[in-house]
Chain A
């Protein structure tokens, strides 16, 4: 295939604006899949992605398209995640493309995250093709969307394509626009190989599989390759492209997108962001790598059964291979034993990792409440970073504490501006800016403590705006705050894994609510369980889980002993998912209870 007939593009869209459906239509239109074989939304292959309707991991599909000019083109569709947590991954897929479809729901309009991703795409000099989707809906208002596009980002509204991924309307126009407007990839065939790894995954049989975009040069089966960051060398055993199942190819040339399999046994051999070159004629310099993602949210992950510690470690290493934003290091807790302190991009990222660990690796985990990283100035002049309440210094030793703030951008219909401002105030926010994008839509900017966003900010934002608000945030910097450590005592004994760091003004309310919430989630046990919340030595709240009075199977039909046994075993199984802290059995959700209180 000639290089000038290749187009690499991605799709930028907000959750539910129809990206996956559009991708399905494009696959159909290019006969990449016939309708019969097609599972809905084929690009989202992880169960988790389908259930949540979001795209987490990148995927790349190669499409053959016969254009109106009579020539055949190869279109590489590189999927992008749509959630705010994953802007780091978005930048990876953008780096592999020359163009982007900007998909906007004709009745919803532009959302905050879409805007953030669009700015990223413009920074990468991508050709933007606006697609106003779902125009078949009665509530569609494409003209308003065009207006928003022109007002907020200065795109030319007349370039926009009106489409309905559901009915297939406009899909042909989109494909033509990709061919006409997106530039073919640059890059010399004869130059030394530079292939950028934009994603990777681990296959039990093949080892690490690297997804690459060839920037220049070419790569063939049996070539000796070198990974430029580690200097390690391998022989290519297989090259493939995705249609969307993998199909083997002999070589990949400039501009092409595919995967490389080369018996890379160690997950670290195919680091995302690394450059692959040829051992025989290496490129003088690697491609500019990605900025390592900054972990913003930290939590402890502990196996319920301590014997699974090693399995947890292996699983985290596997996940880290294609999720460079995941960081972890061992830690231990008096209550929970050995586990890992993990750093994530955001809450959703954290939840997804947790779910993948449980589903794909069958681990039974306890997650401790997420925390941000505080910078604490001690009286002795030292500065310590603390992302774990357990390592919070003695109050007497603390000079001052700084906590991370973000600039939060909320896009919301005008009528909800009041409630949103109120919410931001409650969450210790300071107003920065307000802008009317159109008559109906407003963009609000607040400086907010990241820790407040970790709580239930997004849920509350949704409920106060009837679901109309969208949120994006970026790191702003550290600001001084008066934080204290809130301890929880069960049976009079502090449980380190239940501690959290909160603002002093909110400690009393949080303590009370947390104690109440814990009372709800901790089941009755043989003995009563006092729950106390304390700041320092001062008890600020107390609740009691009353002792269980009756738990005994008293039922007829004595002969069915197997059934009795199974009932008891089921009960026991439920108990196994709890953590025994001394004489108290604590269910997993107790450790996340802080997220559900005011």
Chain B
């Protein structure tokens, strides 16, 4: 996990899905042919523009997320990966991840990914219960997941991560335990355990408003999280970030860039980048995105230049998500002031409340703090 400190990452957002899941508020639209084609025309222009911004820089990670990148046809995937490798310089041994939905990740696509340099795949599994999968609008089955894993390994992609969700409608602790066990049985390198959040503008939210959503209560959800936190380390997975567990040496290097405040260039509608002191959100509306890039204009919805105070607070907010915590010497090296200089009182309050503790030079979440992380993450921002 060392060695990422001076790294930089490249993120590509593919804003397409076969259909929207019940809980999803991420940026994506259903992938119709008449939309995908014009989109990638515009995307190609953005790619050239970003490549110019990245000139002379080497990337240590590439992450293709979404949406569902695996909905793209083989030919499109080939083209996309080809373009990326051609325009951006990737460091030797770079981590190249693609997110995939087991429903659309065919053997042929896997072969394409392997052939074009993808060495890590993150599968949106969510659950190993077919009933539950159907309820939340997922189109795959548990068997399909097993097949994907076999195919990936056959084709040489051995760094595999599974996304799992807890706190789903009608989910029980037993079901969650079973899903975790089955994920471990797959022998994958990495697991991400995400809690369901019912966001506005999702079908789940509408159900909730109508009182028709049977969600686990806070106690049950906490029990599920607690179970993952206890169980996965016993099975040889290191808990290295709030939601992330990995075999030794298999932490997601791209996500670590985010948590440690490293720069990342981003491409694609809806992607967020942080590059050269500027944070930008690429336009979400596809027709706007297309129109802008066709006129040679950068299509962004939002942008900001975080000042030093904000950079420090965000560094603390994201850094504290890591179980190893915030490394005080790194903070000082970066900002020219110590954590105690800047946040002495905050650290004292959080320490008194038993939410954080120093371990040598690192400020870390306590076990209590792990469950009440939001109090810690929010503490660095002014009232």
Residues of A within 8 A of B (CB): 524, 526, 548-565, 568-569, 571-572, 576
Q: Which A residue sits closest to B273, measured CB to CB? A: A559
Residues of B within 8 A of A563 (CB): 272
Asked if B218 contacts A548 (CB within 8 A), the reply is yes
B243 located at the interface, meaning its Cβ lies under 8 Å from any Cβ of chain A in the complex: yes
B71: shortest Cβ distance to chain A, in Å?
A: 17
Chain B interface residue bracket vs A: 35 or more
Asked if B272 contacts A550 (CB within 8 A), the reply is no
A266: shortest Cβ distance to chain B, in Å?
A: 36
Q: C-beta contact mask, B309-320 vs A, less than 8 Å → 1, else 0?
A: 000011001100
* A551-B373, A568-B378 given; 7 more Cβ-contact pairs under 8 Å: A550-B372, A554-B193, A557-B65, A564-B377, A565-B313, A565-B317, A568-B374
Q: Which B residue sits closest to A546, measured CB to CB? A: B219
Known: A526-B353, A550-B218. A556 touches B272 (CB 8 A): no
Known: A524-B218, A549-B218, A565-B317. A555 touches B374 (CB 8 A): no
Known: A526-B353, A568-B374, A571-B374. A560 touches B192 (CB 8 A): no
Known: A561-B318, A568-B377, A572-B381. A554 touches B194 (CB 8 A): yes
Asked if A558 contacts B374 (CB within 8 A), the reply is no
Asked if B371 contacts A550 (CB within 8 A), the reply is yes
Asked if B304 contacts A562 (CB within 8 A), the reply is yes
B135-166 at interface with A (beta carbon < 8 Å):
163
Asked if A557 contacts B26 (CB within 8 A), the reply is yes
Asked if B381 contacts A558 (CB within 8 A), the reply is no
Residues of B within 8 A of A550 (CB): 195, 218, 221-222, 225, 371-372
Residues of A within 8 A of B218 (CB): 524, 548-550
Alpha-carbon distance A548/B272, docked complex (angstroms)? 32
Asked if B194 contacts A576 (CB within 8 A), the reply is no
Known: A526-B353, A552-B372. A558 touches B258 (CB 8 A): yes
Asked if A565 contacts B381 (CB within 8 A), the reply is yes
Known: A561-B258, A562-B279, A576-B383. A552 touches B378 (CB 8 A): no
Q: C-beta contact mask, B342-370 vs A, less than 8 Å → 1, else 0?
A: 00000000000101000000000000101
Asked if B219 contacts A565 (CB within 8 A), the reply is no
B302 located at the interface, meaning its Cβ lies under 8 Å from any Cβ of chain A in the complex: yes
B159-193 at interface with A (beta carbon < 8 Å):
163, 192-193
Asked if B259 contacts A556 (CB within 8 A), the reply is no
Known: A526-B375, A565-B381. A555 touches B279 (CB 8 A): no
Q: Of A552, A562, A568, A569, which is within 8 A of B371 by CB?
A: A552
SS of A interface (majority): loop
Residues of B within 8 A of A551 (CB): 371-375
Q: Which of A558, A560, A565, A572 has the most CB of B within 10 A?
A: A558
Q: Which B residue sits closest to A568, measured CB to CB? A: B378
B242 located at the interface, meaning its Cβ lies under 8 Å from any Cβ of chain A in the complex: yes
Alpha-carbon distance A554/B381, docked complex (angstroms)? 19
Asked if B197 contacts A552 (CB within 8 A), the reply is no
Q: Of B192, B258, B304, which is within 8 A of A559 by CB?
A: B258
Residues of B within 8 A of A569 (CB): 378, 381
Asked if A562 contacts B281 (CB within 8 A), the reply is yes
Known: A549-B222, A552-B371, A576-B383. A565 touches B314 (CB 8 A): yes
SS of B interface (majority): mixed
Residues of B within 8 A of A576 (CB): 383
B101: shortest Cβ distance to chain A, in Å?
A: 13
Asked if A552 contacts B373 (CB within 8 A), the reply is yes
Known: A526-B375, A548-B218, A559-B11. A554 touches B243 (CB 8 A): yes
Residues of A within 8 A of B375 (CB): 526, 551
Asked if A559 contacts B264 (CB within 8 A), the reply is yes
Residues of A within 8 A of B197 (CB): 553, 555
Residues of B within 8 A of A555 (CB): 194-195, 197, 243
Q: Of A548, A556, A568, which is within 8 A of B194 by CB?
A: A556
Asked if A558 contacts B372 (CB within 8 A), the reply is no
Alpha-carbon distance A556/B373, docked complex (angstroms)? 16
Asked if A561 contacts B377 (CB within 8 A), the reply is no
Alpha-carbon distance A562/B273, docked complex (angstroms)? 11
A-B pairs, top 4 by smallest CB distance, nearest first, are A552-B373, A549-B222, A550-B222, A558-B258
Asked if B302 contacts A553 (CB within 8 A), the reply is no
B255 located at the interface, meaning its Cβ lies under 8 Å from any Cβ of chain A in the complex: yes
Alpha-carbon distance A388/B314, docked complex (angstroms)? 46
| Chain A to chain B contacts (Cβ below 8 Å), 9 pairs | A526-B375, A550-B221, A553-B377, A555-B194, A555-B195, A555-B243, A556-B163, A564-B377, A572-B381
Q: Of A553, A554, A557, A561, which is within 8 A of B314 by CB?
A: A561
B47 located at the interface, meaning its Cβ lies under 8 Å from any Cβ of chain A in the complex: no
Q: Which of B274, B355, B374 has the most CB of A within 10 A?
A: B374
Alpha-carbon distance A572/B381, docked complex (angstroms)? 9
Residues of A within 8 A of B255 (CB): 558
Alpha-carbon distance A127/B168, docked complex (angstroms)? 69
Alpha-carbon distance A524/B218, docked complex (angstroms)? 10
A145: shortest Cβ distance to chain B, in Å?
A: 43
Q: Of A554, A560, A571, which is within 8 A of B272 by CB?
A: A560
B92: shortest Cβ distance to chain A, in Å?
A: 24
B326 located at the interface, meaning its Cβ lies under 8 Å from any Cβ of chain A in the complex: no
Q: Which A residue sits closest to B310, measured CB to CB? A: A565
Asked if B219 contacts A549 (CB within 8 A), the reply is yes
Q: C-beta contact mask, B253-285 vs A, less than 8 Å → 1, else 0?
A: 001001100001010000111100001010000
Alpha-carbon distance A562/B26, docked complex (angstroms)? 15
Q: Which of B193, B255, B313, B377 has the most CB of A within 10 A?
A: B377
Asked if A526 contacts B192 (CB within 8 A), the reply is no
Alpha-carbon distance A571/B243, docked complex (angstroms)? 20
Q: Which A residue sits closest to B199, measured CB to CB? A: A555
Asked if B374 contacts A559 (CB within 8 A), the reply is no
B122: shortest Cβ distance to chain A, in Å?
A: 9
Q: Of A554, A559, A565, which is within 8 A of B195 by CB?
A: A554
Alpha-carbon distance A551/B197, docked complex (angstroms)? 11
Residues of B within 8 A of A558 (CB): 255, 258-259
A566: shortest Cβ distance to chain B, in Å?
A: 10
Q: Of B313, B372, B377, which is within 8 A of A526 by CB?
A: B372
B88-124 at interface with A (beta carbon < 8 Å):
none
Asked if B163 contacts A553 (CB within 8 A), the reply is no
B23: shortest Cβ distance to chain A, in Å?
A: 11
Asked if B371 contacts A549 (CB within 8 A), the reply is yes
Alpha-carbon distance A446/B306, docked complex (angstroms)? 66
Alpha-carbon distance A558/B240, docked complex (angstroms)? 14
A589: shortest Cβ distance to chain B, in Å?
A: 21
Residues of B within 8 A of A571 (CB): 374, 378
Asked if A559 contacts B383 (CB within 8 A), the reply is no
Q: Which A residue sits closest to B166, measured CB to CB? A: A554
A185: shortest Cβ distance to chain B, in Å?
A: 58
Q: C-beta contact mask, B290-323 vs A, less than 8 Å → 1, else 0?
A: 0000000000001010000000011001100000
B170: shortest Cβ distance to chain A, in Å?
A: 19
B290: shortest Cβ distance to chain A, in Å?
A: 22
Q: C-beta contact mask, B214-249 vs A, less than 8 Å → 1, else 0?
A: 000011011001000000000000000011000000
Alpha-carbon distance A556/B26, docked complex (angstroms)? 9
Q: Which A residue sits closest to B243, measured CB to CB? A: A554
Q: Which B residue sits closest to A548, measured CB to CB? A: B372
Known: A550-B218, A550-B221, A554-B242. A561 touches B381 (CB 8 A): no
Asked if A564 contacts B317 (CB within 8 A), the reply is yes
Asked if B304 contacts A568 (CB within 8 A), the reply is no
Asked if B274 contacts A561 (CB within 8 A), the reply is yes
Asked if B373 contacts A553 (CB within 8 A), the reply is yes
Alpha-carbon distance A99/B222, docked complex (angstroms)? 69
Asked if B222 contacts A562 (CB within 8 A), the reply is no
A210: shortest Cβ distance to chain B, in Å?
A: 43
B275: shortest Cβ distance to chain A, in Å?
A: 11
B17: shortest Cβ distance to chain A, in Å?
A: 14
